[in-house]
Amino acid sequence: METLCVFATEAEAGALKNYSPTGVSDPSGSRINVIVSGVGAVSTAWHLKNFLCSGSKPDLIINAGIAGSFRESLPPGALVMPVSDTFADLGMEEPGGFRHLSTTPFLNADTFPFSEGRIICRNRFTDMLSEIFKPAAAVTVNTVTGTEESAERLRRLFNPDIETMEGAAVFYVCAMERIPCVSLRAVSNFAGLRTKGSWDTDKALRNLTTGLTQLFKILEEA
């Protein structure tokens, strides 16, 4: 099986260090490639599509990294598997406030790959892993949430568990290309007021490493 791992940063890609060398086949016959796309949806979409245009079509794409949490039950270090996502700041401002594009005439909320304004990531891999990693609803943002006001607006509009800056872009490309995807995110902070004590990136990266090692072991044994 050929797997492509997509990370936003080198630090997140370091979570793969406990697994086999990338770009080569391991003893089980699997082949793993890695993209470090840079932060943000646009850069991620371009690098992912550029890889696919090279002629390689992996059997599975894994998007892994850190995330901000909207839930007290998901503190720094918690591991989740996003199974739905949306571009949370894609929309328009009106006198009454922000409207997501899926609630306007410009985007039908159920136009593929959207369903009620979200991109759903469900396949045989997510079904298999859902008993190991907690499924989560995500939002993808261009700006890390740094105020309670912004966090409350996102809660009100989308009721998310976590936020990332790349997830929906990966889901979108994978859906359009008909390639199964799995996302694994480790919480680094609570979304909201940015304070030094609310972040634990080191713990998130350690747990991401553990989670990816576990994920690949499950895939090998499947």
Q: Which domains does the chain have, with CATH numbers?
A: 2-221 (3.40.50.1580)
23 — pLDDT class (breaks 50, 70, 90): very low
CA 81 – CA 135 distance, rounded (Å)? 5
Question: Which stretches of the chain are DSSP H helices?
Answer: 10-13, 41-53, 124-129, 148-158, 167-177, 201-221
What percentage of the chain exceeds 70 in pLDDT?
93
At residue 18, the pLDDT reads 61
Q: Are 173 and 63 in contact (CB under 8 A)?
A: no
What percentage of the chain exceeds 90 in pLDDT?
75
Mean pLDDT, rounded, for 175-200: 91
Judged against a pLDDT cut of 60, whether residue 26 lies above it is answered with no
181 vs 195 pLDDT, higher one: 181
At residue 56, the pLDDT reads 82
Mean pLDDT, rounded, for 58-65: 97
81 — pLDDT class (breaks 50, 70, 90): very high
For 76-180, list the strands marked E by DSSP: 79-85, 91-94, 97-100, 114-115, 118-120, 134-140, 162-164
193 — pLDDT class (breaks 50, 70, 90): confident
Judged against a pLDDT cut of 60, whether residue 28 lies above it is answered with no
Judged against a pLDDT cut of 70, whether residue 129 lies above it is answered with yes
